[in-house]
Structure 1
Amino acid sequence: MKSLLNPKISLSTLKSISSLAAVKNPSFFPIENPEIPSLFDPFQFLNDYTKSTHCSITNTRILHAHFLRIDLLPSNVAIANSLLGCYCRSGSMADALHLFDVIPERNVISWNLMVSGYNRSSMFENSWGVFCRMHCSGFEPDEFTYGSVLSACTALQASSLGEQVYSLATKNGFFSSDYVRSGMIDLFAKSGSFEDALRVFHDVSCWNVVIWNGVISGAVRNGENGVALDLFRQMCCGFLLPNSFTFSSVLTACAALGEIGIGREVQGWVIKRGAEDVFVGTAIVDLYSKCGKMNEAVKEFSRMPTRNVVSWTAIISGFVGKDDSISGLKFFREMRRMGEEINKFTITSVLTACAKPSMSEEAIQIHSLILKSGLYSAAEVGSALINAYSKIGAVDVSEMVFREIRTLKDLGTWAAMISSFAQNQNPESAIGVFQRMLQESVRPDKFSTSSVLSIIDYLGVGRQIHSYTLKVGLAFDASVGSSLSTMYSKCDSLEESYKAFQQIRDKDNVSWASMIAGFLEHGFADQALQLYREMPCKEIIPDQMTLAAILTACSASRSLLIGKEIHGHALRAGVGRDVVVGGAIVNMYSKCSALELARKVFDMLPQKDEVACSSLVSGYAQNGCIEEALLLFHHMLMADLTIDSFTISSILGVIAPLNNPSIGTQMHAHITKIGLNSDVSVGSSLVRMYSKCGSIEDCQKSFDQIENPDLICWTAMIASYAQHGKGAEALRGYELLKEEGIKPDSVTFVAVLYACSHNGLVDEAYFYLNSMATDYGIRPGYRHYACMVDVLGRSGRLKEAERFIINMPIEPSGLIWGTLLAACVIHRDVELGKLTAKKIMDLEPCDASTYVSLSNMCADLGLWEEAEQIRDQMRGNRTRKEPGWSLV
């Protein structure tokens, strides 16, 4: 009994201990006779002992032995319950159960102690077992029993059992008990049935702050942050004062919604009430961090008198979310210097900061720290490691981490590995990991399935995975359904893409935006616009991503009126000046040639990014506004904005008609400086620019710098050779294109036939024209036939050219007859020229060039009367020749 002596125990307790030690005869305590005074009050002693620091298993067993010796337990259930509580508090549930089983007259308190004791020791199945035993024994549970067993059901995630308990409690008259209702609200909230939790909350008017806190925190847990704020307003209107727990939940909801204004109001109330503790302080730091107000977050963090690991993690995560990895790592280093213990959430945030190619060394150091700290076994840490190495580009290290993680049954780890392969464009390995999941009986979740679908570009494999998603019911999920729709669209199966979209039950904005983008990619802008009109009928409010997608549809279809309507909608929704939406609006107006409106929107954007600048530069370039395009490009350079290939290509397109090699050379130097000289689109633009400037050697040099030239690059180079009279080189380029396994298109054949026409290669021209249809299934168009007529005309085979036109499978156009007329002028064939001119006049009576060409031909041959007649006819038709002009 020596270990029980403690100066902190009261004088009465010390006397009790002394009396207990001196007891020899159990009859010393005449408990049945209240008139006889007792030197030792066992109930008071147990009450003081339970509250003291000496309540341990060993000391409780000593007390138990003494009470047995004096035969006190059988006659006093209150003393037995107190001793039972001591066992439960010290965590010895085996001893508690032994004592419970020998109590002769158990009451409801005895049962409650056992249920709550098992809960305290996290032995929730035993809690449920005791409750069942109590119910079968005929004992009537009270509100505390129901509250405790509902907590056990919550921990066991047994919502069905909890509902049965709640039904029994309601039946027995505990419908309005705060303990029962708070337990049921917590159960529903943690099992994902927040609507049921809200129903229980509204069943009875409540003035208990604990219940309000439970339903507000439940709303936050289930992502119903708007509901949480509404509940908080109702709570305050009901004159119920919130506490620190309420404030931390509400601040978390504000952070999730980005409601910085409401968050500041709540913070003001916290300061006024003096309710700021470490949890509320952490929630305030998290609020400012998630809203991107890092200066204020740091200020609040520095004011916190006490910080915990959650506080440090919140400030680190805030910097990581702002893509400020350096500041995040500085705080992490300071956290380590202060000796603060790190957890898996801290590590995952730091690993996200290190997920950059420039921070590979830091990632390796954090990896070593993880091994040293023993956090390697946490599945979240393993997934973050895999993701970090993937972003760095070290996929082999990601695979090594994946193999070393023991918890391979964790879905997050599998999903991270599949995502790693997908990000690094390795579809075979991603599909292999997916197959291995199925082989090891790990059921892929929506994240794994969406990741593997994002990398698939083979229709057969995509359909197999689609079949699996239908089998397990994932095809109806919004993220999986969107990935399926995108996969089919990428595989050029738009019909199946739309079917997958229709199968999604609860379509979100991502689903709608993906399908709209799918229609756009396949040239169905009208269908994309129609889909957008259906969104309000489904009660879907378009977000920034959807608005940007539909504005792109307006750009593609040149639908200026609809684009203005969507611009108005964006302004009403408060996202008109959003970076993404604003850039899409500028692009829409630029593509629709409404450059004044494009410039107005551009000037009003608070933050001008590369997309908005590039769109306006392109708009100016396409509409011949050379000076404006160059000035805006200069502004981008001065603002140190990232210059992408799209902008460079637009500027090169502006420079090319100027026929100024010096400007082109300067641009080429800048392109080389920023490392875009090997880009496919930029390389193609350089080839075209040098071609128009007459430098075929520079064309070839620019082409040689391109890594993996595509069809457009090859076509540009072939056309450049053709324009400069190098027919042999052009045809050699065409043969090299085929050797690379690239399939030519109709534009390529125009360049090839153009090369034949400028070099008099008639037989070759016939060969390539026939090859279009027979080898590649391309139907020749007007430009191809015009090139063929030009080949024959330049070679003096005018009659053959006429027969060729007459036998064409399509109706000849003015372009084709005009090509023959030009040949007639060159070879001075007046008769055929007259017939050809008549054909053109019938098709295009107002075309002045026909009259002029025929008149000039007659004049060259000395047929002045006929030349004058043609001029009179031209004047009679009120056809006027446009005057020529020159830049020189």
Structure 2
Amino acid sequence: MVRNLAKNTHTTAALDPPEIASYASTLRQCNRSRNLALGRTIHKKLRELGLDRVTNLSNLLIQMYGSCHCVAEASRVFATIKEPNDFSWNVMLTAYARNGHLAEARRCFDRMPRAWRGVFTFNTLMLAYARKGDLREARDLFDRMLSRNTFSWNAMISSYARGGNPREALELWRAMDIDPNSITLASALHACCELADLDEGRKIHARIKHSGLESNIILATALVNLYGRCGRVMDAQEIFHSMADSQDVVLWTAMQMALARNGRLIQASALFDRMPRRDVVSWTNMLVAHASDGDLGRAARIFGAMPERSSVTWTAMITAYAQNGRPRAAIHLFLAMDCEGFPANSVTFVTIFDACSSVADIALGRRLHAELLDLGAGQPPQIDVSLGTAIVNMYGKCGSLSEARSFFDSMPDRNAWSWNSMLAAYAQRGQTLAALDLFKLLNLHGQDPDEVSFLALFSACSHAGLLRDGHCYFVSITHDYGQRLTIDHYVCMIDLLCRAGRLAHAEELLHAMPFSPSSTAWTALLNGCEMHRDVERARGIPGRALGDDHGPYVLLSNTMLVS
């Protein structure tokens, strides 16, 4: 009887004999527990009995293999179904999507009969694209849906909010035409936090009150984060105190961050001491708070007292040293981190390459660069634009322009900082023609130069005495690129005129610029006076304009002595 029923691939669960129902139940259990070994045993038994072509059992096999990450086996089972039903197509698509096989998932979606593409189908594929960071494709699927459920809206809003697109998240939140749930509200609050949008955040808070969700720990934490980010510490404290009985470490940490972020370190420390439980995140927050306040000693003591550390903790302390003028301490701690087996992330490497630049430690920089290239067992390393720029900057500041340019040329993606790092390296080492050629290449690649780009160019022209080129770039900032001239641009032009001996023109520009002349501008003119022994012009520079630094006064004295 069982064999006869097995010939009918459309046998339904209602008509299945006890044996088939028992196998179906076991496969469901394998799916939930991800018991691949038992699942394969059942599959083998079904083949022996000739039941492996029963559609209901085949669907459950696909589901089980998908849950156990065996996509190829799931696909082979699907191929044996003569007439797949809507559940067959959906479990196969889910197996592809949840295991990162997006191309296959999309082909499955496109082959599926349109009548069977329901909300679940769209949600599954949309979420897969979003998790891979392809928000454009995810949004295209979202817009094509004839009907949406709360999951559809949550998936898209959350993906925007946590994927660096908070404005799009809020636009979608405002367009939502069904009632949100706590997940929707939390995602919208996260977007408000990213944008520091207090007004929209207050509207969402009012909706939370209206919905009776004030006691929801996730929403309370999101509100504390929002108010802390927007500088509304008292509002954050009100939310926190309304959850007085909560022992949730994430909520306590959010309140701690709100206090620390707004300069209330004493209160943050007191709250930290009262926390029912501290995790590595709360410890790291206190470390970062004191480091940001310039108290490296306290930050180091917190680091030393931590019961456990993560790569983020090590990176926070390394960054604290590097950003507070202690690059050698940052390097020493990085080496200790490596010895203790904590993996460095992209931020760690960026910080250490900058530290190597500060102390001109090209040997360590080269070693770290080689390690990055070796990561992934010979596969291309995941070097993003920020990390790549830090490598270029390190080689440039250490004086190895050939290595800097070689790596720069190998970068698949570059931003303004990448180009500026290479321009500055050429300018600082007196390679003026190379800097000018690179600037032309920048324009050919369609990259818009910014203020820093032109400052590097002026520096290169100034060192080479290229007055005409420098003046052309000065004029082109507004005429060709539509940018505003800054006081730094004027100072560079004044310096260039002075080096060329055009002291009268330099002084005229100093008085004509739409800024109050800074001590740097006056010092540039004074440098020119000393260089060209123009004592009378130097005497005309008002002493109060030189500021409190002793350097300009030494220059003025030298000018008088030379005369």
TM-score, scaled to structure 1:
0.51
**Higher mean Cα deviation, 791-800 or 602-611?**
602-611
Give the deviation of 1:419 after TM superposition: 1.0
5+ residue gaps, structure 1, are 1-120, 122-306, 317-327, 355-361, 862-888
Matched pairs, number: 517
Residue of 114, 123, 145 corresponding to 1:437: 145
Distance 1:374 1:571 in 2: 66
Distance 1:542 1:400, change over 3 A: farther
Whole-Å separation in 2 of the counterparts to 1:654 and 1:676:
21
* Equivalent position amino acid for 1:618 in 2: T
Task: Identify the match of residue 572 of structure 1 among 274, 296, 305.
Answer: 274
Partner of residue 586 from structure 1, selected from 259, 266, 287:
287
**Partner residue in 1 for 2:9:** none
Q: For 2:312 and 2:75, how far apart are their aligned partners in 1?
A: 37
Distance 1:805 1:564 in 2: 47
1:564 Cα shift? 5.1
Q: Is the 8 A contact 2:192 2:226 kept in 1?
A: no
Give the deviation of 1:766 after TM superposition. Answer: 4.0
- Percent identity of the aligned residues? 23
Letter of the 1:532 counterpart? A
C-alpha deviation, 1:638, in angstroms? 3.0
The one-letter amino acid of 1:731's match is L
Q: Distance in 2 between matches of 1:342 and 1:820?
A: 87
1:700 equivalent in structure 2: 405
Q: Distance in 1 between matches of 2:254 and 2:451?
A: 29
SS of the residue 2:453 aligns to:
helix
Q: Which amino acid aligns with 2:429?
A: H
Contact persistence 1:624–1:654 (CA under 8 A): no
Shift of 1:767: 4.2
| Counterpart amino acid of residue 154 in structure 2 | S
Change in 2 beyond 3 A, CA 1:467/1:657: closer
Determine whether 1:633 maps to 2:334: yes
1:455-604 map, 5 Å: 465-466=172-173, 468-469=175-176, 472-474=177-179, 476-484=180-188, 494=197, 498=201, 501-502=204-205, 504-505=207-208, 506=213, 527=231, 532-533=236-237, 535-536=239-240, 539=243, 561-563=263-265, 565-570=267-272, 572-576=274-278, 578-604=279-305
Map Cα deviations across residues 371-391 of structure 1 (whole Å, 9 max, x no partner): 769998686x86675455346
Q: Distance in 1 between matches of 2:247 and 2:502?
A: 62
Contact 2:533 2:559 survives alignment (8 Å) = yes
Q: Which residue of 2 aligns with 1:684?
A: 389
Alignment partner of 2:524 out of 797, 819, 837: 819
* 2:79 is equivalent to residue 368 of structure 1: no
Determine if the alignment matches structure 1 residue 452 to structure 2 residue 150. no
Q: Give the whole-Å Cα distance in 2 for the aligned partners of 1:383 and 1:497.
A: 38
> CA offset at residue 797 of structure 1?
1.4
Q: Which amino acid aligns with 1:591?
A: S
Map 1:766-785 → 2, pairs under 5 A: 766-773=471-478, 778-785=483-490
Q: CA 1:373 to 1:796, structure 2 compared with 1: closer, same or farther past 3 Å?
A: same
C-alpha change, 1:458 and 1:573, in structure 2 (3 Å) is closer
The Cα of 1:646 is off from its aligned counterpart by 0.9
In structure 1, C-alpha distance between the alignment counterparts of 2:232 and 2:420, rounded to whole Å = 31
Matched, 1:757 2:462: yes
Which one-letter code corresponds to 2:552 in the other structure?
T
Relative distance call for 1:700 and 1:536 in structure 2 (3 A) is: same
Residue 264 of structure 2 aligns to a residue whose secondary structure is: helix
Deviations 1:523-579 (A, max 9, x none): xx5537566345336659696556666777777x6x5x5245335435534342x23
Q: CA deviation at 1:672?
A: 1.8
One-letter amino acid of the structure 1 residue matched with residue 401 of structure 2: I
CA deviation profile, 1:163-210 (whole Å, cap 9, x unmatched): xxxxxxxxxxxxxxxxxxxxxxxxxxxxxxxxxxxxxxxxxxxxxxxx
> Hey, what does 1:401 align to over in structure 2?
108
Distance 1:807 1:624, change over 3 A: same
Distance in 2, matches of 1:737 and 1:634, equals: 37
Check 1:637–1:435 CA distance in 2 against 1; reply closer, same or farther (3 A cut). same
| 1:787, distance to aligned residue in structure 2 (A) | 1.5
CA distance in 1, matches of 2:537, 2:543: 10
1:830 is matched with 535
Distance 1:596 1:345 in 2: 60
Q: Secondary structure at the match of 2:133?
A: coil
Contact 1:659 1:692 in 2 (8 A): yes
Partners of 1:833 and 1:545 lie apart in 2 by 63
Which aligned pairs between 1:115-130 and structure 2 lie closer than 5 A? Answer: none
CA distance in 2, matches of 1:836, 1:702: 46
1:788 is aligned with what amino acid? M
* Aligned-residue offset at 1:581: 3.4
Q: Secondary structure at the match of 2:435?
A: helix
Quick one: structure 1 residues 771 and 748, their matched pair in 2 at CA, closer, same or farther if it must change by over 3 Å? same
Pairing 1:84-483 to 2, within 5 Å after superposition = 316=34, 329=36, 351-352=66-67, 354=69, 362-369=70-77, 386=93, 389-390=96-97, 392-403=99-110, 408=116, 410-438=118-146, 442=147, 444-454=148-158, 465-466=172-173, 468-469=175-176, 472-474=177-179, 476-483=180-187
Partner residue, 1:275: none
SS in 2 for 1:804: helix
Q: Which amino acid aligns with 1:648?
A: F
Task: Find the aligned partners of 1:387 and 1:336 in 2 and give their Cα distance.
Answer: 20
The residue matched to 2:541 in structure 1 has which SS? Answer: helix
Letter in 1 for 2:73: Q
Report deviation, 1:648. Answer: 0.8
Helix, strand or coil for the counterpart of 2:501? coil
Q: Counterparts of 2:199 and 2:480 in 1: how far apart (Å)?
A: 29
Matched with 2:354 is: 653
Deviations 1:14-52 (A, max 9, x none): xxxxxxxxxxxxxxxxxxxxxxxxxxxxxxxxxxxxxxx
- 1:683-718 per-residue CA deviation (whole Å, 9 max, x = no partner) reads 211222122211211110121222211111111111
Q: Which residue of 2 aligns with 1:72?
A: none
Q: Is it true that 1:787 corresponds to 2:480 in the alignment?
A: no
Q: Using the TM superposition, give the Cα deviation of residue 753 of structure 1 relative to its aligned residue in structure 2, in angstroms.
A: 2.8
Q: 1:583, 1:615 within 8 Å by CA — same for their partners in 2?
A: yes
Structure 2 Cα separation of the partners of residues 547 and 760 of structure 1: 60
Match of 2:369 among 663, 668, 679: 668
CA–CA distance in 2 between the matches of 1:493 and 1:764? 44
- What is residue 10 of structure 2 aligned with on the other side? none
Paired amino acid for 1:632: L
1:429, CA displacement in angstroms?
2.9
- Give distance in 1, aligned partners of 2:220 and 2:82: 44
Matched to 2:437, the amino acid is: R
Residue 411 of structure 1 deviates from its aligned partner by 3.2
Structure 2 CA distance, aligned partners of 1:583 and 1:666?
28
DSSP 3-state at the match of 2:491: helix
Compute the displacement of 1:798 (Å): 1.4
Cα 1:458/1:636, change in 2 over 3 Å: closer
RMSD over equivalenced CA pairs, Å: 4.3
Counterpart of 1:394 in structure 2: which amino acid? H
Give the conservation status (yes or no) of the 8 Å contact 1:579–1:608.
yes
1:665 Cα shift?
2.0
Structure 2 unpaired stretches of 5+: 1-13, 15-24, 47-55
1:758 aligned counterpart, secondary structure: helix
In 2, the alpha carbon distance for the partners of 1:601 and 1:740 equals 47
SS of equivalent residue, structure 2 residue 523: helix
| 1:848 maps onto 2:550 in alignment | yes
The 1:653–1:426 alpha-carbon spacing in structure 2 relative to 1, beyond 3 Å, is closer
Deviation of residue 615 (structure 1)?
1.1
Contact 1:516 1:528 in 2 (8 A): no
Tell me the distance in 2 between the aligned counterparts of 1:626 and 1:488: 36
Counterpart residue identity of residue 321, structure 2 = Y
**Contact 2:296/2:320 (<8 A) preserved:** yes
Tell me, yes or no, if structure 1 residue 613 matches structure 2 residue 314.
Answer: yes
In 1, the alpha carbon distance for the partners of 2:505 and 2:427 equals 23
